[in-house]
């Protein structure tokens, strides 16, 4: 099959587009003819590698994908050749009896621990395909899974409820675009930061009530804090990390919750410990989400209350340019690649 792959970790120039053997199909698997894949920041991190990451190489990234089932394993029931599907990439993120996510010791994630969707074909367990919603384009179907289930789980972990004031930082990112819309759909008042006037406008169009341009306003936390009578935020959704951490904590009210799923700008943030104990803040970590998170996010999308946001669409041969756009932070929403 034709695929975008790397044989060593590193920069964009490690990405090659060429032929690889077709992935093997296990008895519980389905083979998908990929129609569209969407980039996540994870694709950049996996390509670059990190200490302790031991992937068999070559590796094919691409955590989000949608396509047509072209073959099913011997034990598969309920999924048929010809089905149009998208994929829940978190293969072992399930719930306990109380609806809480059980954190796996060894996460199994499409595009990270196994080959992903930046290829003509992808093999995944049949248990993790979901019917493509009627009327959706392939680009929309691919754009949704990882960011929506991650954002939904973050809001759940932070116990975000109707009436809460929620801040989402880095509003143009994939997770953030979903978190803004999901928080609005939950009935929250939403504050967001983003970089540049064009993105400010687009974040407003998503439904955010107050938007601050962090590039124009380096002390944006004061603006956010003062935006509604100096009432601190109940929840901050922070996928950005080092660059926003200190300010994000400052915007919280007594008893507020900061939830993080990532560290795009670096992993070491400054924490004012006095602020944490005095205001009795909670700092929550969140990774991936459950099948219910994806199901609930998709339902809100089918009701028209949340929408996939496509930034640009590229061919597989243009995968370097597509990843370069994400590296430069130029995107708003999801960058899609069509094999």
Ligand X SMILES: NC(=O)c1ccc[n+]([C@@H]2O[C@H](COP(=O)([O-])OP(=O)(O)OC[C@H]3O[C@@H](n4cnc5c(N)ncnc54)[C@H](OP(=O)(O)O)[C@@H]3O)[C@@H](O)[C@H]2O)c1
Is 22 or 48 the residue whose CB approaches ligand X more closely? 48
Handedness of CA 185, 43, 109, 143 (dihedral sign): positive
Minimum distance from residue 41 beta carbon to ligand X (Å):
3
Give strand ranges (E) for the chain. 2-6, 15-19, 29-38, 59-60, 64-72, 84-87, 94-95, 101-102, 121-125, 129-131, 165-168, 189-194, 210-213, 233-238, 252-260, 282-285, 310-315, 334-338
Is 160 or 200 the residue whose CB approaches ligand X more closely? 200
Is 243 or 324 the residue whose CB approaches ligand X more closely? 243
Beta pairing class for 233-238 and 165-168: parallel
Minimum distance from residue 332 beta carbon to ligand X (Å):
6
Minimum distance from residue 222 beta carbon to ligand X (Å):
16
Minimum distance from residue 146 beta carbon to ligand X (Å):
5
Beta pairing class for 129-131 and 84-87: antiparallel
Is 78 or 218 the residue whose CB approaches ligand X more closely? 218
Q: DSSP letters along 258-271, please?
A: EEE---TT-S----
Minimum distance from residue 48 beta carbon to ligand X (Å):
11
Is 121 or 260 the residue whose CB approaches ligand X more closely? 260
Minimum distance from residue 285 beta carbon to ligand X (Å):
8
* Helical pair 145-157 and 174-186, crossing angle rounded to 10 deg: 50
Is 150 or 312 the residue whose CB approaches ligand X more closely? 150
Minimum distance from residue 220 beta carbon to ligand X (Å):
9
Minimum distance from residue 40 beta carbon to ligand X (Å):
4
Q: What's the token pair of residue 24? A: 């093997």
Q: Judge contact between 238 and 192, C-beta under 8 A.
A: no
Q: Is 196 helix (H, G, I), strand (E, B) or coil?
A: coil
Q: Judge contact between 97 and 169, C-beta under 8 A.
A: no
Is 189 or 194 the residue whose CB approaches ligand X more closely? 194
Is 232 or 262 the residue whose CB approaches ligand X more closely? 262
Q: Judge contact between 46 and 59, C-beta under 8 A.
A: yes
Give the integer Cα–Cα distance in Å for 67 and 120: 10
Q: What is the largest CA-CA distance in the chain?
A: 62
Residues of this chain that interact with ligand X (CB under 6 A) are: 40-42, 45, 146-147, 150, 169-175, 194-195, 199, 214, 239-240, 243-244, 261-265, 287-288, 326, 329
Choose among 47, 51, 50: nearest CA to 39.
47
């Amino acid at each position: 099959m034709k695929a975008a792959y790397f044989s060593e970790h590193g920069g964009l120039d490690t990405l090659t587009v060429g032929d690889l053997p077709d992935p093997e199909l296990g008895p519980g698997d389905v083979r998908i003819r990929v129609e569209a894949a969407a980039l996540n920041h994870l694709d950049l991190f996996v390509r670059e590698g990190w200490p302790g990451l031991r992937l068999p190489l070559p590796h094919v990234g691409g955590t989000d994908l949608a396509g047509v089932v072209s073959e099913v394993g011997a034990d598969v029931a309920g999924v048929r050749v010809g089905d149009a599907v998208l994929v829940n990439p978190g293969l072992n993120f399930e719930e306990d009896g109380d609806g809480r996510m059980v954190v796996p010791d060894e996460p199994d994630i499409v595009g990270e621990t196994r080959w992903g969707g930046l290829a003509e074909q992808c093999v995944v367990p049949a248990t993790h395909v979901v019917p493509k919603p009627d009327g959706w384009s392939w680009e929309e179907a691919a754009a949704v899974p990882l960011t929506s289930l991650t954002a939904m789980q973050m809001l759940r972990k932070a116990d975000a409820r109707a009436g809460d004031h929620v801040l989402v930082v880095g509003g143009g990112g994939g997770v953030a675009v979903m978190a803004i819309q999901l928080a609005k759909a939950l009935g929250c008042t939403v504050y967001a930061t983003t970089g540049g006037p064009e993105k400010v406008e687009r974040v407003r169009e998503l439904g955010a009530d107050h938007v601050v341009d962090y590039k124009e306003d380096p002390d944006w936390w004061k603006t956010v804090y003062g935006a509604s009578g100096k009432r601190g935020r109940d929840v901050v959704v922070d996928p950005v990390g080092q660059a926003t951490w200190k300010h994000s904590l400052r915007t919280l009210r007594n008893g507020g919750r900061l939830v993080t799923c990532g560290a795009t700008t670096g992993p070491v943030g400054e924490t004012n410990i006095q602020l944490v104990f005095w205001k009795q803040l909670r700092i929550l970590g969140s990774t991936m989400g459950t099948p219910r998170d994806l199901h609930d996010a998709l339902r809100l999308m089918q009701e028209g209350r949340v929408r996939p946001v496509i930034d640009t669409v590229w061919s597989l041969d243009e995968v370097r340019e597509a990843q370069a756009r994400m590296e430069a932070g130029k995107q708003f929403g999801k960058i899609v690649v069509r094999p």
